[in-house]
Amino acid sequence: MIPPQRILVTGTSDVDPRLVRDALTDAWHDLTMIYGPAVRMVVMHGDEAAGAVAVARDWAAEHGVSEEPHAGGGIYRHGAPVARVPAMLEHADMCLAFIGPDDRPAQATARLARRAGIPVRYCGTA
């Protein structure tokens, strides 16, 4: 049995919702092409109330896809990653990054994902 494929969504609060929806649909399509139609997709996120995460949460609900929120504060405190980011990266299979020009938390998450060997798709914001 194929384990659930966890897609980590990180990004700015100022993102075109269509970009998020299209990126998630593309990821789902790619997963079904690789693993077959029985693959389970899980949308992981930092539980923010707006932006890319809010759109991803809505997309998951609309498509019957599980979501896995990881609540917590900002990405860095005193120069060290907050516990939720490493916890999410430990289980992520792919990262969708919607990064604005000054979006340090999403940049940090995408950078940490890349360093952990997790494929990162940079999806833009507008």
| Residue 33 falls inside a structural domain | yes
Which range marks the domain in which residue 79 is found?
17-92+106-122
- 3-state secondary structure labels for all residues of the chain: CCCCEEEEEEECCCCCHHHHHHHHHHHHHHHHHHHCCCCCEEEEECCCCCHHHHHHHHHHHHHCCEEEECCCCCCEECCEECCHHHHHHHHCCEEEEECCCCCHHHHHHHHHHHHCCCCEEECCCC
| Residue 31 falls inside a structural domain | yes
Domain count of the chain?
Answer: 1
Whole-prediction pTM value?
Answer: 0.88
Tens-digit pLDDT profile for residues 86-125: 778 888 999 999 998 877 878 888 999 999 999 999 998 7
| Residue 66 falls inside a structural domain | yes
